Amino acid sequence: MFELIRQPWPWYVAGPLIGLTVPALLLLGNKSFGISSSLRHICAACIPANISFFKYDWKKEAWNLFFVAGILVGGVVAAHFLANPNPVQVHPKLANELASYGVDNYNQLVPIQLMNWTSLFTLKGFLLMVFGGFLVGFGTRYAGGCTSGHAIMGLSNLQWPSLVATICFMVGGFIMANLLLPIILSL
């Protein structure tokens, strides 16, 4: 049983399980699936400022905070008790391309040469971590939700804005991975 949850699940099992969260949330409590709104709920609960964006009944959305806490706890449990001791497997062609940029350590979830405290204070690290994080946050707010909210919840509800947002997420990801990332890695 333990070995079953240690291995990646095939798409035809994991996909429907993720997809079933949409009707379950709708049927059990008329709730919408999404993660990005959790930061707003946390700020509304913790910041007693007189900011109109945070003035709403965040307690109605407290279930979402428990959901995010579950994700955090699940990640900690998985990292400490279910971690695969073997190095991360990377396709040889991708490994060769990344090695040409000086990225060759895959013993971590992310390449250690890119994501560490020292590289945070370099131009490459700043672009990847700080500026990239800002763009993700800005895009999420601008699109009115994150990829999970739009691609899972919005598309299953046949919402046109979610289709547009999901297409833009995918196009942006392809542009970043294939055009911009090689430029940034070569800095």
| pLDDT tens digits, one per residue of 166-179 | 999 999 999 998 99
Question: Residue 50: its pLDDT value, please?
Answer: 82
Q: How many Cα atoms sit within 13 Å of 34 on the Cβ side?
A: 24
Q: Exposure of 77 by Cβ count < 10 A (0-12 exposed, 13-18 middle, 19+ buried)? A: exposed
User: pLDDT tens across 74-123, in order?
Assistant: 989 888 888 777 777 788 898 888 888 888 776 666 777 778 888 888 88
Q: What pTM does this model have? A: 0.72
Question: Residue 85: its pLDDT value, please?
Answer: 76
Please report, rounded to a whole number, the percentage of residues in the chain having pLDDT higher than 90.
13
Q: Is residue 148 within 8 Å of residue 168, measured between CB atoms?
A: no
SS3 call for 84: coil
Question: Residue 167: its pLDDT value, please?
Answer: 94
